């Protein structure tokens, strides 16, 4: 931390990077840090390769450049929420000619950069940005607090993913709230702008949801015909998963989606600690995390893939 503070004091210009396919924590960390540095008189430039697909970050897209072509020779690079240099999407654009600070909370990855503040126990990268601001003896403005809170809320699923080790996240949330962030406003910024067509797709998915294997497995599906009437960007499968997993007795929820005429994709979710969906998906040529994974099937259709899933999980959910 001390070395990072020295680096911030020493330089006047900062080039700030996050990861590809950014989320609320990545953008909240990048922007929150940039606005804080501006607050203390530093110049900042923000970079991202996108895509800015998530609702909660779309509004910030125009603040980020897609290519790295700095005019200044002076300055330092800061990389946030990123476990490998490659994940920035800029590793071949000469970012390594500047001294590099890495601020991250991923538990795996590679050791890169000159000064590293990496704490896997932090629930969001924005918590580390808050630590840095406080360690410098400063306070976040209301705008910075809102950006940091966005990261904290989205990476913790609005605090749902926290367990008994989650106290520091609540402490950070209390501080950010006192600095002017409204959890209610952030909740509706993230979840309050769904399109009417999205409700149609959600209701269709719930209507089709069927339980198998004594109710332990629940599967829903989407067909190519669905997308003839409703555009794909209206899809909100995360909302569907929440409801499927809320059903009593369900251990695994699956969504089967006909992506194009020769490809079906499957998403898997669980809330059970003793199920490893990453390995379950790997057996079918896919992968992922313990609680969220997926795989693809070529030259198939939703009906056949539902059968395949029931068969596969009949051996796992015993």
Residue number of the CB atom closest to Mn ion: 25
The CB-of-103 to Mn ion minimum distance in angstroms stands at 11
Stretch that binds Mn ion, among 8-16, 74-82, 240-248, 292-300 (CB under 5 A): 74-82
Decide: is 81 part of the binding site for Mn ion (CB under 5 A).
Answer: yes
Which member of 155, 189, 226, 258 binds Mn ion (CB under 5 A)? 155
| Preceding omega of 118 cis (within 30 degrees of 0) | no
Non-local CB neighbours of 206 within 8 Å, separated by 6+ positions: 220, 240, 243, 244
CB of residue 104 vs Mn ion: minimum separation in angstroms? 8
Query: Tokens 């109710």 belong to which residue?
Result: 215
25 binds Mn ion (CB under 5 A): yes
Q: How far apart are the first and last CA of the chain?
A: 48
Distances (CA, A) of 120 to 26, 83, 165, 221, 292: 15, 10, 12, 35, 19
CB of 19 to Mn ion, least distance (A): 8
For Mn ion, which is the closer residue by CB, 30 or 100?
30
Does the protein bind Mn ion through residue 56 (CB under 5 A)? no
Q: Does 189 contact Mn ion by CB under 5 A?
A: no
The one segment of 3-11, 117-125, 211-219, 236-244 that binds Mn ion by CB under 5 A: 117-125
Question: Cα dist. 78→24, 29, 183 in Å?
Answer: 18, 11, 27
Q: In angstroms, give the least distance from the CB of 23 to Mn ion.
A: 7
| Contact stretch for Mn ion (CB under 5 A) within 120-128, 135-143, 177-185, 289-297 | 120-128
Q: Say if CB 152 and CB 124 are below 8 A apart.
A: yes
**Cβ–Cβ under 8 Å, residues 228 and 200:** no
Q: Cα 20 to the chain's mean position, in Å?
A: 10
Interface with Mn ion by CB under 5 A: which range of 58-66, 149-157, 259-267, 290-298?
149-157
Binding residues for Mn ion, per CB under 5 A?
Answer: 25, 81, 125, 155
């Amino acid at each position: 931390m001390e070395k990072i503070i020295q680096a911030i004091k020493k330089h006047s210009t900062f080039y700030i990077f996050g990861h590809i396919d950014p989320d609320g924590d990545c953008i909240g960390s990048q922007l929150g840090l940039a606005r804080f540095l501006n607050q203390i008189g530093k110049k900042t430039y923000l970079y991202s390769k996108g895509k800015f697909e998530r609702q909660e970050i779309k509004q910030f897209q125009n603040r980020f450049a897609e290519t790295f072509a700095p005019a200044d020779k002076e300055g330092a690079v800061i990389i946030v929420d990123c476990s490998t240099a490659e994940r920035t999407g800029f590793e071949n654009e000469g970012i390594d000619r500047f001294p590099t600070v890495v601020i991250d909370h991923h538990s795996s990855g590679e050791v890169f950069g000159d000064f590293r503040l990496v704490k896997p126990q932090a629930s969001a990268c924005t918590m580390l940005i808050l630590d840095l601001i406080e360690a410098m003896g400063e306070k976040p403005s209301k705008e910075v607090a809102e950006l940091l809170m966005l990261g904290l809320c989205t990476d913790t699923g609005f605090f749902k993913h926290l367990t008994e080790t989650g106290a520091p996240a609540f402490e950070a949330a209390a501080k950010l709230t006192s600095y002017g962030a409204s959890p209610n406003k952030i909740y509706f910024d993230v979840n309050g702008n769904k399109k009417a067509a999205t409700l149609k797709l959600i209701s269709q998915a719930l209507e089709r949801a069927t339980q198998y294997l004594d109710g332990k497995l629940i599967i829903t599906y989407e067909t190519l015909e669905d997308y003839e009437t409703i555009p794909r960007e209206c899809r909100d499968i995360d909302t569907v998963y929440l409801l499927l997993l809320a059903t009593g007795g369900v251990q695994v929820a699956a969504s089967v989606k006909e992506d194009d005429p020769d490809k079906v994709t499957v998403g898997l979710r669980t809330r059970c600690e003793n199920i490893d969906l990453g390995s379950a998906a790997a057996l079918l040529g896919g992968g992922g995390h313990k609680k969220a994974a997926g795989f693809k099937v070529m030259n198939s259709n939703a009906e056949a893939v539902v059968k395949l899933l029931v068969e596969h999980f009949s051996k796992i959910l015993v």
